[in-house]
Structure 1
Amino acid sequence: MAYSDVTAMKVRDALGAVDISEKQMMGGLVFLINGNMTVSIKTLKTGVEQFMFRPGKDREDEALTIPGTRPMIHGGRRMTGFLFIDADDCDDVAFTQLLTMSRGFALLLPPK
């Protein structure tokens, strides 16, 4: 599993003290709140570090206005409520906005 330990620590610190778990999957590290996927980090084969955020369907359009974000396409299908952004394009403001949206969405979901 390829991901940056520095970026993983940044996500851990930003998520705070909610019920967070981590799982290595999808070729990277996924952070879950109450068992619900919230954000992941992964280093692609090209060496590009990438975030996957889950702002949810209701805030996806808003999240996609943040420069550098793009819809999540998996197996040729758009995954509604999820998006990608390369770490190099994700400044502190974008990171905070996207993580706040994703954390808020995860906290609305029932625990798994």
Structure 2
Amino acid sequence: MAVDPSLVERIRPLLAEHEPVDERRMFGGLAFLVHGHMAVCVSGQGGLMVRVRDDERDALLALDGAGEMVMSGRPSRTWLRVQGPVLDDDAVLAEWVERGLEVIDDLPPKA
């Protein structure tokens, strides 16, 4: 499956005030990096990969559309996959993007 171009276009304005933002093809999708850290990625398998705090992961999994992100055969503690009709709602998409941004806000910029 290809990266959903409409989802990409809806995410770009949500990141506009967080310059510098880099877009890179990674993990079969299009990743959005802010200050060198990946916050979200539009997945080539559909939906969105979102960086989350480990201590918030379990509560976020209870939200509509959220599921485990499996990497190397193991569920990630710091990434979730968000899929389905829930992403059609602009407010919900903005909330997920903001969650990814909040995680990287505490990280130092990468050189």
TM-score when normalising by structure 1: 0.84
2:90 match: 92
Unaligned runs of 5+ in 1: none
1:105 match: 103
**Which amino acid in 2 is paired with 1:31?**
F
Bigger mean CA deviation after superposition, 96-105 or 86-95? 86-95
Task: Check the 8 A contact 2:52/2:78 in 1, yes or no.
Answer: yes
The percentage of counterpart residues that share the same residue type is: 28
RMSD over aligned CA atoms reads 1.8
Q: Relative to 1, partners in 2 of residues 1:94 and 1:61: Cα closer, same or farther, differing over 3 Å?
A: farther
The runs of 4+ residues in structure 1 deviating greater than 2 Å are: 87-94
Q: Relative to 1, partners in 2 of residues 1:98 and 1:62: Cα closer, same or farther, differing over 3 Å?
A: farther
Unaligned runs of 5+ in 2: none
TM-score when normalising by structure 2: 0.85
2:55 match: 58
| Alpha-carbon separation, structure 2, partners of 1:33 and 1:87 | 25
1:37 match: 38
Post-superposition shift, 1:87? 4.2
2:9 match: 9
User: Structure 1, residues 32-57: CA drift from partner, whole Å, max 9, x if none?
Assistant: 1111010001232xxxx210000221
Task: Check the 8 A contact 2:65/2:84 in 1, yes or no.
Answer: no
